Each structure stands twice: as structure tokens, then as C-alpha cells.
Structure 1
Amino acid sequence: MAALTFAMEGTCPQTGARAGKMTTDHGEIPTPIFMPVGTVGSVKAVSQQQLKEDVQARIILGNTYHLYLRPGLEVLEAAGGIHQFIGWDRPVLTDSGGYQVFSLAGTRKIQEDGVVFQSHIDGSRHLFSPEKVMDIQRVIGGDIIMAFDECPPYPSEYAYAERSMHLTHRWLDRCIERFGSTPDKYGYTQNLFPIVQGSTFSDLRKASCAYVSSKGAVGNAIGGLSVGEPEAQLYDICEACCSDLPVDKPRYLMGVGTPWNILECIARGVDMFDCVMPTRNGRNAMLFTSKGVINIDNKKWEKDFSPIDDGIDSEWSQYYSKAYLRHLVKGKEILGLTIASVHNLAFYLYLVREARKHILKGDFLSWKNEQVPVLQTRL
């Protein structure tokens, strides 16, 4: 058993982009990396075999709030943790539940001790404290577990954002204390990442980066973005945080985003991403491709028998035609959801592999600048 390590393998001289390798007890992760979101121990409409073979996923994300409520800790512990329960032998990152609690604005109460919330399943009341969230994530069994934080809404008043940031820092100290006083479970090392907050205020973000950096964690996350702020602001905050966070530790930008968001944030120094967009949008007929964005519902694809995307190294995306996928989507066939979701995920993983390749090759900036307008094109 060994703590997570991160080795830098290359950088882009014109940008902050980095190529590296994270190593956990469940395997190596080349960076930059995108992590499919498996909210309840399942990436919606996609099997674990498809994640490995067709998507080429190296790490997936599980959601603490949802897994805690169902199937519950008793089942997960009896199974031997999330890897055994879902049949996944590669790394898993568990979020802290902070964002889900944030999204339950009408049914939760934030206090110093933690957050009291109502289950969306049966209305039962629960408390998430920093200590309890550490214990829950230990039982779930993530290789990387996240500190409990408060995610302030956008826009936030400065005074609220500042109070929220200090609360997140106090909770972080409690997370670190609890994490340090409890053993790893299931025979492998679990690793804690703190989360930077501070809303859209540059001085708060700088203060939070300094506080988080001082903890010496094996990796750090940037939270509270992609909650409604303009893209330009997202990029500015991302760049500022990356310049203040340790160079030798992986940086995880939580919940971001579109393919062009990902390339722009790689250019600013981010190593890890997750987002529900590829699967959620795929289930709603939106495809991300190497040539631009497709609404497969449109009639223009009715007799287009060309592959979904022949510009990426995915047999899956080259096997099915646009016309066939449109037919499935129009007929509300379940297979349509799977094809669209697997394609979008395969495209995201292809994109970060290509970014890594161009960082190592030394031409990332020119490649990125060519790609972004293409990826944003509506076909």
C-alpha cells in the first residue's frame, strides 16, 4: 500500500499545460484525465466493460450523497467496498456530497457542525459533518476522497463567499484530523484531496489556495466553478488557482465541462476533470464529436449513414451510423441512450489523450487553438 504519487512527464512552454502520471494502489492514471461520473456506482446507461474497452476510462467518480442513501453503507461494507460491489478494478474518486447538498437548497440547513438535509428518496433527515463524510467515504472505498466543503451559489455576495470559504477551511481541518485518525479500509491506500473555494473573488481564491496548499495533501481540487459564471471568469479563476497551487501535485477542477472548457483549462494547468455532461447530454440527443456538436434528433441526420465520428480512435463511434442512432433516439429505444453516452465518453477520453500527446510533442498550444473553434461548431 502506498499513497498516491504524481510524476510530471512534460509541460507546454507557452501555456500551463502538463502531462503527468498519477499512481494509486488500483493503477496508474495518465494526465490530463477525464473521469466519467458514476453517481450511484453506475455511469448511466454504460456498463463497466464498456467503460474499460470502448471508453478507455482509467478512473471513475462515485457520489457520496447518493451511495450513502442507497444502497447504504451496510451493503457497501459487506460487499468489500465500491470496487468489489460494482466490479471495477481501476481507481475510484468519491466526491464529498458537498455539491449535492448545495443543490438541495430548499431542504438543507448549513451550520458549523455540518449540513442537515432531507433525503430526496424518502424525506428522512440526515447530518453530514466533516467527520461523518470522512467515515462514509472510507466505507465506500474511494482511492481518492474529497474533503467536505460548502459550494456557494453564483452569484454570491462577497461577505457570504468569505464566510463560506472560512467554513470550508474549518471543515477541512476537521476532515484532515478525522482522516488521519482512521485507518484505510479494504487493504489499499485512500487519499484525501482538499477543495479550494472563494466563489468568483480573486482575493478569496488566493487565500483559499494558500490555505489548501499549506496542508501538504497529495492532490488538490478547485471547486465552486461551472455553477453559472461566464466562461471567461471560469478560465481566469482556474488560471489563478493553478498558479497558486503546488506544481508537484495533481490539480482537479470539479464539474467542468464542455470539450472546449476542458482544453482551455488544461492550458491553464488542470490535470483532472469530471462532468455529467457527456452522459446527460448524450441521453438528450446531443453528441460531442471531433467535427463539432450534433443534435442527433434533427431531421438532417435521417439519411446520414456515415459513422457517428470517424475522426477519433473509437471503434464504437465508427460502428454506428448517425441515421441509425437518430432512429433509436426518435423511437426512445434504450440502446440509443447507451450508444450516445458511450460515444460522448469515448470522445472526451480521446480528447484528453490527444491533449497529452500534443503536450509531450511540444505543439499543444497551436493544436488547442485549432481544436476549440471546431469543437464549438454546431453541425
Structure 2
Amino acid sequence: MTTLAAFTLATGVWLSVDVSIDGPGYLRFALEGRIVYAKSATLQVQGGRLTHPTGAPLVPTVPAPAALESLSITEDGWVEGRSQSSESRLGRIVLAQVAGSPTLLEAGLMAFSQRPRVGFPASEGWGKVVSGKVGVSLRTEPAVDPTISPLLTPGSLILRAPERVEVDPGPVRLLDLLQLEGRTEWHRLLESIEIAQAPPVGVSQKISKARVVARVQTAGLAPSQIVDELPPLIEVVTRSQAIPAAQLVTAAREAAKRELGDLPFSSEADERDFIAPVGEVELRAESVRTANSSVSVVLAVYIGGSKFNSRTIRLSVDSAEAGVKAGSTVKVLVRSGGVVAELSGRAKSNAFVGQAVEVSLSLGQPPTQTTHLGVVKAPGIVEVKL
């Protein structure tokens, strides 16, 4: 802990202290309805709380009674104050890390367009608070009542949430779950705090109210400032859409027809709807494979231009319509040079039109069984080239 020198304050002066952040993170202040940031600042006791020299209060608010005589600030952000009658912890500094380049404002303040993530000083991945000299300056406004700011009155924030919440994919923030009743300043404090990652589509996640309240308190809120009207558990699901099974089967049939011809394909099983994230749907055939009279089509499901998942659709077709059936009698067109002979043969396996198939023929006297490789040209017709 870095303990700052004690001062007995006369009426008409402010107590102030220089602080900076050594490592990742920024101090946060509320200025004209938005959150602004600083790497270092002179914190002043003003209006019953710690503020920036511009008057912007530290976020979350750290109360500082007017009767305060001394301050001490630890590397991990705890602010302690002492008056003639007592010594107590006033609050804790919470830092923010923000991606992107800042916009420079007045008096060393900055603004960012990206959402921040917040954390405590001196924790893993965060910088520590370095405190400097204590000073005093003349007051420019009347002294306030030496009590906690009205913003921090007990029960000023009411937490409510439905029992089931739909969220977008990615990080789940407190304000995705909560229905807040209280000053708008609380909303700004909580808007960047994450509590979970959205569950996979089709899977629900339960978040306990104890976990929600604990995350709310990381914004610097004390239990006495919170009214808990949350359900015991909040069920979180990712927003989704159902792609009808009929749409999947239709896409599989079209892919099969492109590969195998215009055959009467039918679904082998009752397909179920496909649950996917919300977004524009595109179905792309990745492969079409045949086995006897069955066809397997692998459909990739794209949402918003990105592949989400895939499903295999199995189709069937009557062998008589599809080409030839194993063991069936077929017409064999034997071509040799410019001569075509039409013979009767037997197919040795199932095959679709356009596929290769072996056929057995009886040739010569006495008849001799021979096997030839041909191509199915139409249902029941195989062409063999010698």
C-alpha cells in the first residue's frame, strides 16, 4: 500500500492526489453523459466524491466525504480515507482496456469508439495504480454534506431479468440479461461487463442470480446499493432459426440430379429441421456419393456467408428407374468398330445411368459366359465397347 501524507483540511480547500496507471488499463470518468479515459490524473475530493480536475467523477464512483483528512491508495486500487472520527475503505478503482486509437479530449482525457473490458488493478493482465503527491487547492463551490453521493444511496439499483433470455453469438454482457431500474449512470457502469459466452446454438446455459450479483459488484457497487429481484436461474440461449427439413431434402435432390441425371429421388428417412444461427441461409452440396440404389448428399449450411455446419441427406431411387439392378436381365449394346450388336445379358451390380457396371454375356457355340465392363445408357440398357 502507498500511504499518502495526512492533511487537516480547512474550510475552502480540496484534497487532491496524483495517480497514474503503470501497465495495461485506463482510469474511467463520466463526462457529459459518456465514459472517457485517462492514463493519469489528479483526483480531487469534490462534490462528495473523487473527480477529475474537470469535475468528471471517477467511474465507478468513489465517495469522499468533505470531512476527509487523508487518503491512501493501494496498487490494486483500494481507496481508503481517514477523518477525525473514523478510517474506512471508500471504494475501489476499476480499470478499462479498449482496442483502437483514442480521440484526444481536454485536460488529458480520451474517448474510444470501441467497447471496453474492465478489471481490477494489479490483477493478471492489468496495470497497477501508482500514487503520487497529495495537494490542496481552493474550493470554487460550496462544501457539500459529508455523506455518500446521492448516486450511491442504498437500494438505488434494482436488478430484474426474465427467466429465459435470447442472446447473439459471442460474449454475453450483463445488460444483455438485466432489466435495470435506477439512475442511468449505473447502465454505463455495467454495459461493458461480460458474464459468459453465448452457448452453442440449440444448447441452453443456466446462470445463477448469485453469479449475476457478483458480476454487478465488480463495477464497484456494494450489496446495500442493490435490490435483487432476479429469478434463481436465468436460462440463456443463442438466437436461432429453423431451416425446414423439406428445404434440405429439396437441395439434396437438386444436387443429386446435377450429378446423376433427372431421376425420381426420394428421402430415405424423415429428416428433422436444422437449427442454425440467425442470418441469411445458403445450402451448398459438398459431395454426392452413390452406393447401390442409395445416394448420400453432404450439404454445407452457410449463415451470412460463413460455414456453420453440415448435414448428410440420404436419398433413394427405384433401380428400374435409376439404371440397372444387380441380377436383372438387361439389353447389352456391343459396339465394335462401326458394328452394333444387341444382346441379352445380366447386370452384376446396381448402377445408375452414366455409371460403369459389369455385365455377363453368353457368347458362341457352345455358349461361353464372359464378363464385360460397360456403361448404363438408360434404364435397363448397357453399352459395351470392344
Say yes or no: TM over 0.5: no
TM range (shorter): under 0.3
**Greater share of residues in helix:** 1
Greater strand fraction, Structure 1 or Structure 2: 2
Q: Greater Rg, structure 1 or structure 2?
A: 2
For normalisation by structure 1, the TM-score amounts to 0.19
TM-score by length of 2: 0.19
